[in-house]
Structure 1
Amino acid sequence: MQNRTNIFLLIIVTLFSGYGCTKNFDSINKNPFDFDEDELVADHRLMGEPLSQAQLNLLIYNDPPTAQLQQNLNADVFSGYMMPPTPFEGNINNTNYGLLYFWNNKPWLIAYAYVMKSCDFAQEKARGKYPDFYAWAQILKVEAMHRVSDIYGPIIYSHYGVINPDKSVDYDSQQEAYYHFFTDLDSAINVLTRYIDSNAQQRFSAFDLVYNGDYSRWVKFANTLRLRLAIRIYNVDPEKARKEGEAALRHPLGLLQDPQDLFAVNISPVTHPLNIMCYTWADLRMSAPMESILTGYKDPRLPHYFVPTDAGTNTYHGIRNGINISAKEEYSGFSQLVRFENRILFMTVAEAWFLKAEAALHNWKNAGNAANNYVQGIQASFRQYNIPNVNDYINNSTNKPNPYVDPRNPENNIPPGSPYLSKITIRWDEQATEAEKLERIITQKWIAMFPEGQEAWSEFRRTGYPKLFPVVINNSGNTIATEKFIRRLPIPQLEITTNPKAVYRARLTLGGEDTGGTPLWWDTRP
């Protein structure tokens, strides 16, 4: 992986440094170790290497401290997946809504510096000449920037690189950004589909860290991403949601389906940043909702996600979010995450089935049957971990999430009968209410998407499922209601300092204050 980085840096240095040669580029005077832009285009490195970097930095692969701030100490925690035992900043930090601006700049900075910039560079070189590379960059941009929008709301997308006379760069509202996402995905899907239909050369393989240059799988991913975004806006923009969702569902190549279709970036030989956070720094443990749901359901995925505590072979404990932690040692013996392989997961095949299940609830064309899609989603998740005997789990109609007991402090307990403790079971019930059907779908989807906390947080905000536990300590200064949970991160301080006029205009699109308590455009949950 270091070789890829070095090659990309060499390309940039070569393009912008200049070098001596004769007027006729005589081969005698040409440095045999130099290469010009035409040569780079010939083997597609000029576009491919930047797009390799874009993939690697969807979650920054080689800088665990930055990855910790890019996602782990916000979405991974807010989603109910994980919780640090570490009382960062005197126990006033994101985990208890004491939002730290110097932490919360990072998701923005990484996306723009390493993904948006790389995609823009590649598209400038590909424009009008290499439509397949241009389309690939569009898909990567949407994957990266919808995540950024789902953190902050308004983002710089369609105006990227356009400087106004007042030196500002305009934002898109979240609605505008989503509409641009759909347009870009539609264009990219059409371009790559034409390449596939015409049996044209597929040229990604040297740079593709997800599908090894398989255009059909990129189209299936783009279709599934389109369906993801369509489902996300259903509550606020149902006509647009249906139009985009049905376009994804009717595409002949379909959605992610085969086990090898899951979207995971190969960062080998670099280790997964979560491994560093959990094992080297001891800054990461299982969350309380994970303990409650996985142990309550007797879910066989539990040992594929977490390690038993120091207390015993089959004992798992998670830490509740937003509690009083006096010292790291207090909770460091709770369940660690398993050690992850050298791939960073962003979309599972199971998610595609659960998206179809929800689309079926809305009666979208080509969505199929909600019950069947729900079952297929659970089966796909079990296949991902090579777990047999899925039928016993799917047909269980008695198991429910367990009450939560904190062996260190009973003030953190979630007792039986708590409104934050779900009563939903696993087996599909065709006679259930629409709300109960949705809770089943999203609860199983939440389990299956682990450890992709960004998407899990977005789904919780959109639906309120699965039921999570509110923070015990709320350090937001009354800007985030405890029982309503955190809804977004404020616009980064860096932008407020360097792009203030555009930030002022962007804030007007929020429909509320620029705080963690203001819901995003698609977040209509009370």
Structure 2
Amino acid sequence: MKKWLYPLVIVIAAAMLTTACTKRFNEINRNPNDFTEEELKADYQLMGEPLSQAQLNLLIYNDPPTAQLQQNLNADIFSGYMMSPNPFDGNINNMTYSLRYYWNIKPWIVTYAYVMRPCDFAQEKAKGKYPDFYAWAQILKVEAMHRLSDIFGPVIYTHYGEINADKSIDYDAQPDAYYAFFKDLKEAIGVLTDSINNHAASRFTNFDLVYKGDYTKWVKFANTLRLRLAIRINGIDPAKAKLEGEAALSHPLGLLTTPDDNFNVNISPVTHPLNIIGYNWADIRMGAPMESILTGYNDPRLPRYFVHTDEGPNVYHGIRNGISISTKETYSGFSYLVKFDSKILFMTAAEAWFLKAEAALNGWKNAGDAGSNYNKGIITSFRQYNIPDADTYLNDNTSKPAPYIDPKNALNNVLTGDKHLSTITIKWNDGDNNDIKLERIITQKWIAMFPEGQEAWSEFRRTGYPKLFPVVINNSGNTIPTEKFIRRLPIPDQEYITNPKAAARAAATLKGLDNGGTSLWWDLH
């Protein structure tokens, strides 16, 4: 039986390779199985075209309704970055913790149908013949699957395509998935590093929508991804975290360093899905924590992220998550997101500097100095937005996040003295304790990662920073404590129908019930 005919994927295979409007329409959107072997051997298309598709669909590029459900109406909002003015389903939805199963299956479907499947296909064709393509697919799989695991917890990764006698396909519990991610990254980094050392010419230039076939940048990205995942698990498995983190920090090719290294998938000429969601549908606005933090810090990135309101060029309003909204028009005048170019951002070089700052707090070798890394993270973020002078900002030891005032409903206000309003300042102070230093690092990392809500949500759950505002209305039926915030999405209902035995086994690996209030393995809050 072919790998893709197992129960998980048979449900979603029909959605595979849907049509899109790109300059490479016929190439990218043609099913690999429809090509002859001879056609696809030319110019490495057999592996390259599926991996182009995998990049394009880390966040589905050509289907804004699906992108809205894949990330925008979960992680983008749960991270504090954004909020919708639309009271979907009578305000009984993800924003008020009434989790919509038909929304929350989308991350699962997209990742398996549009990323794992083409990566698996490419690896089958590359195995033993084209180690660079095989390694590239490994990196893409880890990038996609760690995001999925950080949504649901257990995922089908090492057992992908393996059908048991009872017709089930086993999941990896989250720790097993993470250990597999590290193994795959180590192998891929080794293969591409050898190619670089042997001065091998890139074979995937024509298919690489991020780095145009630059093996060195892919290694730097993979090193940074390895460090990200190591930092992620430091609270739960410090020995493994240190081992993997120090391996990333000691690699001779290093991490992402400058904005030119940012991991952006170029989907041109298709517009960014957030432009459609924000402007065509008016379904997303600035989140209240963004207003509080950026205005309180007088942050010059504010107009690079959001559009001021009609009240004036210096007036920005965000919407608090999980509030009473009766009509879409109530908050329609609040700040739009800026319009994005045709690149979808998944990792910045600024994040790499903040990861190094935290690694330094942990005492890891080759991490450098925490304060210097912290400052370099801010400077690198400023350079990403062509803001020339960071000195004033770096030396600001008085500005703090501002109280949040909802001009539409005072019940949503977060005022001075509220425990959810951070008092962290910007300037680094070596004399502070590590808790204060960590809050400072994560708050600035959170600002710099915008608009990548998936990673921002994961870091908030891991650290509790930056301080966000809890929902006002909680429709979870007591499954998600308001003060704890949402921790994950439940395993999709479709899995309990098509893969019930394995889904039940996967749910049993969780810390609690399969609901939004149960923390993930690495989440100790």
Normalised to the residue count of structure 2, the TM-score between the two structures is 0.95
2:504 is aligned to: 504
Q: 1: CA distance between counterparts of 2:204 and 2:32?
A: 20
- 2:347 is the alignment partner of 1:327: no
SS of 2:206's equivalent in the other structure is: coil
Give the letter aligned to residue 332 of structure 1.
Answer: S
2:32 is aligned to: 12
Does the CA contact (< 8 Å) of 1:11 and 1:46 recur in 2? Answer: no
Q: 2: CA distance between counterparts of 1:463 and 1:189?
A: 28
Give the letter aligned to residue 467 of structure 1.
Answer: K
- 2:352 is the alignment partner of 1:352: yes
Tell me: CA distance 1:8–1:276, structure 2 relative to 1, closer, same or farther (3 Å): closer
Give the letter aligned to residue 520 of structure 2.
Answer: L
Does the CA contact (< 8 Å) of 1:150 and 1:520 recur in 2? Answer: yes
Give the letter aligned to residue 193 of structure 2.
Answer: T
1:156 is aligned to: 156
1:93 is aligned to: 93
Give the letter aligned to residue 220 of structure 1.
Answer: K
- 2:184 is the alignment partner of 1:184: yes
Q: 2: CA distance between counterparts of 1:68 and 1:479?
A: 24
Q: 2: CA distance between counterparts of 1:10 and 1:102?
A: 28
2:228 is aligned to: 228
**After superposition, what is the alpha-carbon deviation per residue over 1:344-386, rounded to whole angstroms, capped at 9, x for unaligned?**
0000010000000000001100000000000000000000000
Does the CA contact (< 8 Å) of 1:321 and 1:472 recur in 2? Answer: yes
1:44 is aligned to: 44
Does the CA contact (< 8 Å) of 1:285 and 1:335 recur in 2? Answer: yes
1:474 is aligned to: 474
Does the CA contact (< 8 Å) of 2:292 and 2:404 recur in 1? Answer: yes
1:373 is aligned to: 373
1:25 is aligned to: none
**After superposition, what is the alpha-carbon deviation per residue over 1:78-99, rounded to whole angstroms, capped at 9, x for unaligned?**
0000000000000000011010
1:40-439 aligned within 5 A: 40-439=40-439
Give the letter aligned to residue 351 of structure 1.
Answer: E
**Displacement of 1:436 after TM fit?**
0.1
Unaligned ranges ≥5, structure 1: 16-35
Tell me: CA distance 1:313–1:261, structure 2 relative to 1, closer, same or farther (3 Å): same
SS of 1:408's equivalent in the other structure is: coil
Tell me: CA distance 1:509–1:4, structure 2 relative to 1, closer, same or farther (3 Å): same
Unaligned ranges ≥5, structure 2: 1-20
**After superposition, what is the alpha-carbon deviation per residue over 1:463-522, rounded to whole angstroms, capped at 9, x for unaligned?**
000000000000000000000000000000111110000011001110200000000000
Q: 2: CA distance between counterparts of 1:521 and 1:11?
A: 37
**Displacement of 1:204 after TM fit?**
1.2
2:456 is aligned to: 456
Give the letter aligned to residue 34 of structure 2.
Answer: T
Q: 2: CA distance between counterparts of 1:204 and 1:239?
A: 36
**After superposition, what is the alpha-carbon deviation per residue over 1:294-315, rounded to whole angstroms, capped at 9, x for unaligned?**
0000000000000001222210
Give the letter aligned to residue 193 of structure 1.
Answer: T
**Displacement of 1:11 after TM fit?**
5.7
SS of 1:404's equivalent in the other structure is: coil
Give the letter aligned to residue 81 of structure 1.
Answer: Y
**After superposition, what is the alpha-carbon deviation per residue over 1:124-166, rounded to whole angstroms, capped at 9, x for unaligned?**
0000000000000000000000000000000000000000010
**Displacement of 1:3 after TM fit?**
4.4
Does the CA contact (< 8 Å) of 2:258 and 2:350 recur in 1? Answer: no
SS of 1:206's equivalent in the other structure is: helix
Give the letter aligned to residue 4 of structure 1.
Answer: R
**Displacement of 1:4 after TM fit?**
2.9
**After superposition, what is the alpha-carbon deviation per residue over 1:38-87, rounded to whole angstroms, capped at 9, x for unaligned?**
34223100100000000000000000000000000000000000000000
Q: 1: CA distance between counterparts of 2:29 and 2:80?
A: 38
Give the letter aligned to residue 382 of structure 1.
Answer: F
Does the CA contact (< 8 Å) of 1:204 and 1:213 recur in 2? Answer: yes
**After superposition, what is the alpha-carbon deviation per residue over 1:283-303, rounded to whole angstroms, capped at 9, x for unaligned?**
010010000000000000000
Does the CA contact (< 8 Å) of 2:401 and 2:422 recur in 1? Answer: yes
Larger radius of gyration: 1
Q: 2: CA distance between counterparts of 1:2 and 1:469?
A: 40
2:7 is aligned to: none
Does the CA contact (< 8 Å) of 1:5 and 1:53 recur in 2? Answer: no
Q: 2: CA distance between counterparts of 1:129 and 1:9?
A: 25
2:3 is aligned to: none
- 2:486 is the alignment partner of 1:486: yes
SS of 2:265's equivalent in the other structure is: strand
SS of 2:49's equivalent in the other structure is: helix
**After superposition, what is the alpha-carbon deviation per residue over 1:20-48, rounded to whole angstroms, capped at 9, x for unaligned?**
xxxxxxxxxxxxxxxx4134223100100
**Displacement of 1:12 after TM fit?**
2.8
SS of 1:44's equivalent in the other structure is: helix
Q: 2: CA distance between counterparts of 1:521 and 1:454?
A: 17
Normalised to the residue count of structure 1, the TM-score between the two structures is 0.95
**After superposition, what is the alpha-carbon deviation per residue over 1:365-418, rounded to whole angstroms, capped at 9, x for unaligned?**
000000000000000000000002200000000000000000000000001100
1:26 is aligned to: none
SS of 2:400's equivalent in the other structure is: coil
Give the letter aligned to residue 366 of structure 1.
Answer: N
Give the letter aligned to residue 201 of structure 1.
Answer: A
SS of 2:344's equivalent in the other structure is: strand
Give the letter aligned to residue 294 of structure 2.
Answer: L
Does the CA contact (< 8 Å) of 2:32 and 2:50 recur in 1? Answer: no
**After superposition, what is the alpha-carbon deviation per residue over 1:216-270, rounded to whole angstroms, capped at 9, x for unaligned?**
0000000000000000000000000000000000000000012210000000000
Give the letter aligned to residue 442 of structure 2.
Answer: I
Q: 1: CA distance between counterparts of 2:31 and 2:38?
A: 12
Q: 2: CA distance between counterparts of 1:359 and 1:498?
A: 42
- Work out the number of aligned pairs and report it: 505
